[in-house]
Structure 1
Amino acid sequence: MANPGWDRLWRIGPPVMSVRDRLRLGLATILILVGSALLGRFIDGLLIGLGTYTVLFGAIPSRPHRARVMASAGIGLIAAVGVGVAVSSSLALTLGAFVLAAFAGLALDTAMRLGPPGPYFFVLMVGGGTIIGRAGLGVTDVVAPLAAGAVVAFIAAVLGADKTGNASPDTSATADTSASPDTPASPDTPATQSWARSFRERLTWPHPEAVTFARVVVAATLAFAIPVMAGGTHPFWAVLVAVLVLSYPGGRRIQVMRAIHRILGTALGFLAYWGWTLIHPPDVVTFAAMDILLWITMGLAARNYGLACIAITLLALMMTQVLTPDIHPATLAGDRLLTSIIGAAVVVVVMIVIQPRRRRAAEDA
């Protein structure tokens, strides 16, 4: 396998978002977490905060495009988390929900070009719903707070200026200009036919998007099923690693580096969480720490994924501990580290096994 580039392991790249934009997109979530902690409504705060995760789509330069994406992503988030909650008790149904979410996300991306974090965001939201469902909450418990969070995220994103002259971002695993939302269909071709043709082309092997789709679906399925069959309590963490690595645009070298970043960042985050549990601060302090970690993650995720993973791991463990207080912190952290390693191993295997067929020289000619 290609050398991933060890000299770039901990190098911090230039910022991709201004402090002002980070405040606009992240401040709402931070205030929600702080406010819910002060009011003692920790679970409601986490659910509303989860609903605001659609702000990840909020960097699209065009305001009309951003508004359409934010509205669609908000509805998609609520549906995906709700489905995850509903199927959390069944392995087969959960795996089917992952596939359905991948199809739906790619279909939505074909229609309007979602931009970062891409179409497989909804697969992760299904997985997040399984954690909530296993914590004992039902679909009716989550819809209202998720919707409230999505509305807050929509307002925060749409308040941003319309940055004319910039291309809308595209985080599909590979760019496909055949379905640009800003390119109208031919007068002789109904829009639905144009969308269907583009969607079919993207899923036709060996189109690069079809390769990414196959890798993500297979990896998410294996990453969830293996820990469940081994008796793991939080298999979603393996899915998180697999989807975030494989859906990231770039070749094998970049994705291998991303997997290495995830393992090392998770291990260091594990140690940080272990130290945090020794202090055992009150919940209000924990929620304040979540806000700081969220801000760090927003600033580091695109600059050095490994360093961001340290904050991401610590943040995720704190949030999960609130949802599952009966699980010992050491068990929770150890499970996170183990399942992350499983997810990274699945990524490497899937990248090796699922590759586009090599065309013969005569066919290329």
Structure 2
Amino acid sequence: MTLVRELVRVAPHAGAHRPALRCAVSVGVPMLVLLGLGRVDLLGAAAFGAFTAIYGRDLTVPARSAVQALTGTLLTASVGIGLVAAHLPGAPWLELAVLVALACAATVIGGMVDWKPGGPLFFVFAAGAFAGAPAQSAGAAAAILATTAGTAAFSVLVGSAGAVFPTHVRARRPLVVRPARATREDLLDVLLACALAAPVAVLVGVEHLYWVLIGAVVPLAAAHTTHRLARGVHRVAGTAVGLLVAWPLLAADLPPWSVVLAAVLLQTAAELLILRNYGLALVCITPLALVVGAIMHPAPTGDLLADRILATVVGVAAALVVVVARRRPRS
């Protein structure tokens, strides 16, 4: 019954409109600039840089600025790692090894800084999107990195605006850096889940392998077993419903300006819901990822949707095996 209550619980609004507005500005303004410059090919890079705005929502300036500066730097580095990984031979195993190593590194750093949202999800996402794509030329890679870094820096500035426009929300926790050894249990969980998920993903023919790793690490970001189980169920159910939302958007072959509008609206809605009910937030996050991804790397809609749900199920199943085997009681 505790799990059922966790699945259907909708938390209070708790001022979610403030981080949602910061995210909308952080993703919308750079995308509109790129649209005006005719650089539709860089919209995806801007989206990854704008993930910086997601972090530090429970902190006030200057703590938020410090966390976002760190995560923005790591997101840019993750994109760079993905661009390099796309050139590696021996796919998919070397690609998977690089992404698992990145997931482990982000788990350790995130555990030390205790950033929110927790876990390595967005860093694996940023690297995987480019690692699994065709290799870029040096010039194209430089433009992608510059766009990601520039958008991340803009997101930090937007997040720092609280120093000028106070939100009247006090930080709910101090910014504390913990020793790396405090994250060893989280690191072991991530390693086990990825080790279980990766070979199964290759065996069943998942095309977007980084989606599997994302599914494997997402439930592990929760604090204890009940929340982890709920996060896994939410991930699968929310993704399934989100695919129904994504289907008409992908089938419509939206023009670039519509993609930007959809990205801003979906990102805003996701931030309004993410701490209230994770499953509901996934209904917005799933089409956001697919619509932005499709403009970077077009693919048949049916194949894309099928691969997404298969990858999610495989990744979450591996995570839940680890969750059940290594039960973590409520502290």
Please state which band the TM-score falls in when normalised by the shorter chain: 0.7 to 0.9
> Is contact 1:26-1:295 (8 Å) kept?
yes
> Is contact 2:85-2:95 (8 Å) kept?
yes
Hey, what's the Cα distance between the residues in 2 that align with 1:21 and 1:277? 27
Scaled by the length of structure 1, what TM-score is found? Answer: 0.77
Change (3 A) 1:265 1:65: same
Scaled by the length of structure 2, what TM-score is found? Answer: 0.85
Aligned to 2:192: 218
Structure 2: segments with no counterpart, 5+ residues: none
Shift of 1:169: 6.7
> Is contact 2:49-2:149 (8 Å) kept?
yes
Q: Provide, for residues 242-288 of structure 1, a one-character-per-residue CA deviation record: whole Å limited to 9, x for no partner.
A: 21211122x21111111111111111111222233444443322331
> Is contact 1:34-1:287 (8 Å) kept?
yes
Matches within 5 A, 1:48-63: 48-63=46-61
Aligned to 1:199: 180
Matches within 5 A, 1:262-341: 262-325=235-298, 327-341=299-313
Partner SS state of residue 159, structure 1: helix
Choose 293-302 or 263-272, whichever is displaced more. Answer: 263-272
Shift of 1:297: 0.3
Aligned to 1:166: 171
Matches within 5 A, 1:222-233: 222-233=196-207
Partner amino acid for 2:324?
I
Hey, what's the Cα distance between the residues in 2 that align with 1:169 and 1:303? 22
Identity in percent: 26
Change (3 A) 1:24 1:243: same
> Is contact 1:95-1:221 (8 Å) kept?
no
Change (3 A) 1:4 1:227: farther
Q: Aligned match of 2:39 in 38, 41, 49?
A: 41
> Is contact 1:51-1:149 (8 Å) kept?
yes
Hey, what's the Cα distance between the residues in 2 that align with 1:106 and 1:273? 30
Hey, what's the Cα distance between the residues in 2 that align with 1:341 and 1:49? 25
Partner SS state of residue 5, structure 1: helix
Q: Aligned match of 2:134 in 136, 145, 156?
A: 136
Aligned to 1:186: none
Hey, what's the Cα distance between the residues in 2 that align with 1:4 and 1:137? 47
User: Is 1:145 matched with 2:118?
Assistant: no
Q: Provide, for residues 129-148 of structure 1, a one-character-per-residue CA deviation record: whole Å limited to 9, x for no partner.
A: 23223332534342211111
Hey, what's the Cα distance between the residues in 2 that align with 1:83 and 1:100? 11
Shift of 1:235: 1.6
Partner amino acid for 2:313?
I
Change (3 A) 1:116 1:278: same
Hey, what's the Cα distance between the residues in 2 that align with 1:331 and 1:169? 45
- Structure ranking higher on relative contact order (CA contacts 8 Å, 6+ apart): 2
Cα-Cα RMSD: 2.8
Larger Rg: 1
Structure 1: segments with no counterpart, 5+ residues: 171-179, 182-194, 203-208, 358-365
Hey, what's the Cα distance between the residues in 2 that align with 1:19 and 1:130? 30
Hey, what's the Cα distance between the residues in 2 that align with 1:9 and 1:50? 29
Change (3 A) 1:95 1:129: same
User: Is 1:115 matched with 2:119?
Assistant: no
Hey, what's the Cα distance between the residues in 2 that align with 1:28 and 1:215? 32
Hey, what's the Cα distance between the residues in 2 that align with 1:134 and 1:110? 27
Shift of 1:59: 1.9
